Amino acid sequence: MTLVQTQPRPAHADPVRRTVADAMAAAGPQVCDDMTVEVALAVMASARAGHLLVCDEYGECTGLVTRARLTALRDSAGYTDRIRLRDLAGDLGPLTSTRTTMAEAEHAMRYRRLRALPVVDEHGSALGVLALTR
């Protein structure tokens, strides 16, 4: 796996000091946490996205949910059509800031086996996503 780089890096850029802001991609689809799993899957399908950023009623990013996670939940025995994204609060994963270094972010993503990590500002608003590729 290698980190996706969405912006060209100047030749003089120090890789140790590069931050998440240097490599994050656009935030992509964002949804409110009161959305049901079925609706979230439909939004992902229509947006052709593999993940959604989940925000609370104040617009603060609370995490990221993947198609694989929602599909597994929908196919589980305990699934009902009343489950909302906020019910997955503990499973939405960590967030990072734009000041996090690339080395720190890559280490955290590999350690936690994350393929994508939401990037938020100091107010919790989603700015982008840092993604790993194979």
Domains of the chain (ranges, CATH numbers):
2-6+15-133 (3.10.580.10)
Residue 19 has a pLDDT of 85
Band of residue 54 on the pLDDT scale cut at 50, 70, 90: very high
pLDDT, tens only, 112-126: 888 889 999 998 899
Amino acid at 129: V
What's the pTM?
Answer: 0.77
- Burial pattern 47-75, b for ≥16 Cβ within 10 A else e, equals eeeebbbbbeeeebbbbbbbeebbeebee
Flag whether pLDDT at 8 surpasses 70. Answer: no
Instruction: With residue 124 as reference, give the H or E element that holds it.
Output: none
- Between 79 and 92, the more confident residue is 79
Check pLDDT > 90 for residue 84.
Answer: yes
pLDDT for residue 3:
42
